[in-house]
């Protein structure tokens, strides 16, 4: 195992337990004993996952004029996957342990069965990772469909549609967020590798001569995105693939790696896909997928630079990086130091007691904040316990309404990280929270 900086002991177990206990991530179909490493996102998890995707969409689409969005179908005909190369080459080497009969991905087990320790395996066979299904009521070849194993192909097949409908010219990009499916041989490590997961991919179309420059640009831009959202630089590194390790379409790939509890591993891949995909789909479909540059009178097939991230995997990395334990008032506390943009709840409104007059003002405060922040409202338990519960799920600010509020129309704002408290007038609360979150 690689060594990684500053690991909390048993971090993966702690985060997995917290995720289950506090409603971030549940094992899927749990009342039926679970289902093969699939997961459901609970009330807090769905907020956080949406925040991860929103932060990505904001940086990729909203804040740029050179990238547009797309949401393509998950089901696709075999023709797409034949042209993309996935039918032939999207395989992993599968071996069976001769002693215990468990199946493994040969390249992940270093010759020793993780189940029984045997070193005797069957010959590796190529196992295609795509989920095959049928579209419509009639079985047979014509009905075969595949669930997409990456969102990227929907972007390439829509290249001409997008070009014809928006006024973009290379360099420009198409971004997409959505589910992808891979029949992974050994899904593992919580939501790191699952069979159903969410991707955030962007295909950036550039003149071939500029491809290398854009490749370097996107590597740095994507690395900076994770740092901006709170992952310490020491937990991130870049890893450039050796030529013999490249995917079938790639002219160069650099992974953004994260220091997971089990070692450095992939968080996101940035690839120079060359003109592979557009050329393949143009040949197979007979539809021209190129660009005519009126300035130079030249027609060319753009190269593609692809930053391909996992939303669910990124969420896991943000959780791991944010998890912390410290001592407050001589008591151990668990705190998720999540960036406010990612936290499931950004503000918790906490009336000191259930007295109706306090609840009335608290609801008033809640209504002021809800249009601007994702808020929780909690009236149960002692206030100290409630602070701890909010710390544990990463809520950056707690707003406490107490009996003095009834006289001075002010509330207490408590900061998750410093635990410092400040008295703020209700009339100034929204402005104060906007300032604390860097929005004004």
Binding site for ligand GAP (CB under 6 A): 150, 152, 182, 184, 193-194, 197, 199, 201, 266-269, 306, 308-310, 312-313
Q: How far apart are CA 284 and CA 33, in angstroms?
A: 44
Q: How far apart are CA 309 and CA 320, in angstroms?
A: 17
- The H or E element spanning position 277 is helix 276-285
Q: How far apart are CA 387 and CA 114, in angstroms?
A: 42
Nearer to ligand GAP, 104 or 387 (CB): 104
Q: Which residues contact residue 254 at a Cβ distance below 8 angstroms, ignoring those fewer than 6 apart?
A: 215, 219, 238, 239, 240, 241, 269, 270
In angstroms, what is the minimal distance from the CB of 104 to ligand GAP? 16
In angstroms, what is the minimal distance from the CB of 269 to ligand GAP? 4
In angstroms, what is the minimal distance from the CB of 352 to ligand GAP? 43
| DSSP string for residues in 145-164 | EEE-S-SHHHHHHTHHHHHH
In angstroms, what is the minimal distance from the CB of 353 to ligand GAP? 45
In angstroms, what is the minimal distance from the CB of 272 to ligand GAP? 12
Nearer to ligand GAP, 193 or 281 (CB): 193
In angstroms, what is the minimal distance from the CB of 304 to ligand GAP? 10
Helices (H) and strands (E) in the chain, counts: 13, 24
Nearer to ligand GAP, 266 or 290 (CB): 266
Nearer to ligand GAP, 148 or 416 (CB): 148
In the numeric block, the tokens 């707690």 are attached to 398
Nearer to ligand GAP, 203 or 378 (CB): 203
Residue 403 main-chain phi, psi, to 5 deg: -70, -30
In angstroms, what is the minimal distance from the CB of 222 to ligand GAP? 10
Nearer to ligand GAP, 157 or 194 (CB): 194
Q: How many Cβ atoms are within 10 Å of 72's Cβ, its own excluded? A: 17
Query: Does the N-terminal peptide bond of residue 51 adopt cis geometry, omega within 30 degrees of 0?
Result: no
* b/e code 275-305 from CB counts within 10 Å (16+ = b): bbbbebbbeeeeeebbbeeeeeeeeebbbbb
In angstroms, what is the minimal distance from the CB of 201 to ligand GAP? 5
Nearer to ligand GAP, 192 or 323 (CB): 192
* Short-list 11, 50, 45, 51, CA closest to 25: 45
Q: How far apart are CA 129 and CA 229, in angstroms?
A: 32
Nearer to ligand GAP, 206 or 374 (CB): 206
Between strands 298-300 and 303-310, the pairing is unpaired
CA atoms in the 13 A half-sphere facing the CB of 143:
8
Nearer to ligand GAP, 258 or 397 (CB): 258
Q: How far apart are CA 149 and CA 196, in angstroms?
A: 9
In angstroms, what is the minimal distance from the CB of 246 to ligand GAP? 11
In the bound state, the residue with its beta carbon closest to ligand GAP is: 310
Q: How far apart are CA 65 and CA 213, in angstroms?
A: 19
Nearer to ligand GAP, 316 or 401 (CB): 316
In angstroms, what is the minimal distance from the CB of 280 to ligand GAP? 14
Q: How far apart are CA 84 and CA 292, in angstroms?
A: 23
């Amino acid at each position: 195992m690689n060594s990684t900086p500053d690991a909390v002991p048993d971090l993966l177990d702690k985060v997995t337990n917290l995720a289950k206990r506090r409603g971030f991530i549940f094992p899927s179909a749990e009342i039926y004993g679970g289902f093969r490493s699939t997961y459901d996102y609970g009330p807090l998890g769905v907020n956080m996952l949406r925040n991860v995707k929103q932060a990505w969409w904001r940086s990729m689409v909203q804040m740029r004029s050179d990238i547009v969005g797309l949401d393509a179908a998950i089901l696709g005909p075999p023709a797409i996957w034949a042209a993309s190369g996935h039918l032939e080459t999207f395989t992993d080497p599968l071996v069976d342990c001769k002693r215990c009969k468990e199946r493994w991905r040969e390249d992940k087990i270093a010759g020793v069965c993780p189940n029984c320790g045997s070193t005797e395996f069957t010959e590796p066979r190529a196992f295609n990772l795509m989920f095959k299904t049928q579209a419509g009521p009639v079985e047979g070849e014509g009905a075969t469909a595949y669930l997409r194993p990456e969102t990227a192909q929907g972007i390439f097949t829509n290249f001409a549609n997008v070009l014809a409908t928006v006024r973009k010219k290379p360099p420009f990009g198409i971004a997409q967020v959505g589910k992808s499916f891979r029949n992974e041989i050994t899904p593992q490590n919580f939501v790191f590798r699952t069979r159903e997961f969410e991707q955030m991919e962007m295909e950036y179309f550039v003149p071939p001569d500029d491809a290398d420059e854009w490749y370097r640009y996107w590597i740095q831009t994507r690395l900076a995105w994770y740092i901006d959202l709170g992952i310490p630089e020491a937990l991130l590194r870049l890893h450039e693939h050796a030529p013999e390790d490249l995917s079938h379409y790639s002219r160069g790939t650099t992974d953004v790696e994260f220091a997971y509890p089990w070692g450095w591993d992939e968080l996101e891949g940035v690839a120079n896909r060359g003109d592979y995909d557009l050329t393949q789909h143009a040949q197979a479909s007979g539809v021209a997928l190129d660009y005519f540059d009126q300035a130079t009178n030249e027609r060319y097939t753009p190269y593609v630079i692809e930053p391909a991230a996992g939303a669910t995997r990124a969420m896991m990395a943000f959780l791991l990086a944010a998890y912390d334990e410290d001592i407050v008032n001589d008591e151990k506390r668990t705190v998720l130091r999540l960036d406010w943009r990612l936290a499931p709840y950004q503000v918790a409104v906490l009336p000191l007691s259930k007295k109706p007059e306090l609840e009335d003002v608290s609801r008033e405060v809640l209504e002021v904040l809800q249009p601007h922040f994702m808020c929780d409202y909690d009236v149960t338990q002692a206030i100290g316990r409630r602070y701890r519960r909010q710390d544990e799920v990463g809520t950056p600010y707690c707003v406490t309404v107490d009996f003095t509020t009834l006289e001075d129309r002010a509330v207490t704002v408590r900061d998750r990280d410093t635990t410092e408290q400040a008295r703020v007038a209700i009339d100034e609360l929204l402005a104060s929270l906007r300032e604390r979150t860097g929005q004004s």
